[in-house]
Amino acid sequence: MIKRIFDLLLVFLCIIFLMPIFLIICLLVKLDSKGSIFFLQNRVGLDEKIFKIIKFRTMYINQSSISTITLKNDPRITKIGKYLRNYKLDELPELFNVLIGDMSFVGPRPDVAGYADKLVGVNRNILKLKPGITSWASLKYVNEELLLTQVKDPISYNNRVIYPDKVKMNLNYYNNHNIWIDIKVIFATISLLLSGLFKHK
């Protein structure tokens, strides 16, 4: 209950404060390429409930690839999409996911069904948490797209190294989370944004 109240108070402040930026991005996405402003995708949420995550669209429509792995300088990404992804601004609409209760500010990033299905044993406890906009795991792998461009087989590396490490970190959050840890994660996220480390170099 405390976590939900915290989320609601923070999300109202964020929506009010960020609305001008939100509207500017909407205009830029629309002018940059054909297609909708928002990208909706099914993700696995609390207690394995499927919900639609809301993001700004960063890829061209009608692209043939269906891979969920994205690399730096991926040709599917639009011009404005590159900058939105670098600064994580494409995730701003997830504030509305928090508002309606599908997500929290802090929690494991929501997986697509194919990855959530790989969780077994105690790892499935992660699905007892609301997915979040940010987490220790997402901060550690903030430059994930760049990292994946530096390995020979990005999909294999993600499945063998990155994803299991994220699961381990998310399980640790499940076992130890509280409101103070959430506040630490939020401040760490803000600090990283302000320092410019979200920008892929």
Query: pTM (2 decimals)?
Result: 0.86
**Is residue 34, in this structure, part of any structural domain at all?**
yes
Picking from 3-12, 58-67, 90-99, which range would have the lowest pLDDT averaged per residue? Answer: 58-67
Mean pLDDT across the chain = 90
Q: Rounded to an integer, what distance in angstroms lies between the CA atom of residue 4 and that of residue 6?
A: 5
**Is residue 45, in this structure, part of any structural domain at all?**
yes
On the question of pLDDT at 31 being above 50, the answer is yes
Q: pLDDT band at 198, cuts 50/70/90? A: very low
**Is residue 200, in this structure, part of any structural domain at all?**
no
On the question of pLDDT at 66 being above 60, the answer is no
DSSP state of 34: S
On the question of pLDDT at 137 being above 80, the answer is yes
Domain hosting 66: range is 2-195
On the question of pLDDT at 9 being above 90, the answer is yes
Q: Name, in order, each residue with C-beta under 8 angstroms of 57's C-beta and a sequence gap of 6 or more.
A: 29, 35, 36, 37, 38, 39, 78, 81
**Is residue 201, in this structure, part of any structural domain at all?**
no
Q: Buried (b) or exposed (e) across 108-145, using 16+ Cβ within 10 A?
A: bbbbeeebbeebeeeeeebbebbbbbbbbbbbebbbbb
On the question of pLDDT at 52 being above 80, the answer is yes
What average pLDDT does the segment 26-41 reach? 93
On the question of pLDDT at 104 being above 50, the answer is yes
Number of structural domains found in the chain: 1
How long, in residues, is the chain? Answer: 201
Confidence (pLDDT) at 73: 65
Percent of the chain at pLDDT > 90 equals: 69
Q: pLDDT tens digits for 179-194?
A: 999 999 999 999 888 7
